[in-house]
């Protein structure tokens, strides 16, 4: 069963604009949510995380928002840059060990 879902397989955005990536989850026991970025031929790289007791976390150009009642989180990237073109994975942790991942969203930043 897919506990973490990313329903948009791809996103195209113009350089300088905002990228918004969405993620939905079903397991109310998740206590941490993480976003990873992946370039081809590399492993996923940690980007930003948020605890379930918060609703927003910001790190530079990246902001993650959590809506627990809707079981929804989003990642905002502003402004988008060409180097942001990658696959982005949403992940969640419930028991302090395994991560459950979504299927990923491929972001393409157009010049």
Partner 1 sequence: DTGVSQDPRHKITKRGQNVTFRCDPISEHNRLYWYRQTLGQGPEFLTYFQNEAQLEKSRLLSDRFSAERPKGSFSTLEIQRTEQGDSAMYLCASSLAGGANIQYFGAGTRLSVL
The β-bridge relationship of strands 105-110 and 10-14 is: parallel
Q: List the one residue from 84, 85, 86, 104 that touches partner 1 (CB under 8 A).
A: 104
Site for partner 1 in 70-99 (CB under 8 A): 89, 91, 93, 96-99
42 near partner 1, rule: CB under 8 A: yes
Give the CA-trace dihedral at 18, 11, 58, 67, to 10 degrees: 110
20 near partner 1, rule: CB under 8 A: no
Decide: 38 and 85 in contact? Cβ < 8 Å. no
34 near partner 1, rule: CB under 8 A: yes
Which residues, at least 6 apart from 85, have a Cβ–Cβ distance to it below 8 Å? 107, 108, 109
In the bound state with partner 1, the residue whose beta carbon lies nearer, of 79 and 99, is 99
Greatest distance between any 2 Cα atoms in the chain: 41
Q: List the one residue from 19, 64, 75, 102 that touches partner 1 (CB under 8 A).
A: 102
Which residues, at least 6 apart from 45, have a Cβ–Cβ distance to it below 8 Å? 36, 37, 38, 39
32 near partner 1, rule: CB under 8 A: yes
Q: List the one residue from 13, 44, 64, 73 that touches partner 1 (CB under 8 A).
A: 44
Residues of this chain that bind partner 1 (CB under 8 A): 4, 6, 9, 32, 34, 36, 41-46, 49, 51, 89, 91, 93, 96-104
């Amino acid at each position: 069963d897919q506990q973490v879902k990313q329903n948009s397989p791809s996103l195209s955005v113009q350089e300088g604009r905002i990228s918004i990536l969405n993620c939905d989850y079903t397991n109310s026991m998740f206590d941490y949510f993480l976003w990873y970025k992946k370039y081809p031929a590399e492993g996923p790289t940690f980007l930003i995380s948020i605890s379930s007791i918060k609703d927003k976390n910001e790190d530079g150009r990246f902001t993650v928002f959590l809506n627990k009642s809707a079981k929804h989180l989003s990642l905002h990237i502003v402004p988008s840059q060409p180097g942001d073109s990658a696959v982005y994975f949403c992940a969640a942790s419930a028991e302090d060990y395994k991560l459950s991942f979504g299927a990923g969203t491929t972001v393409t930043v157009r010049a």
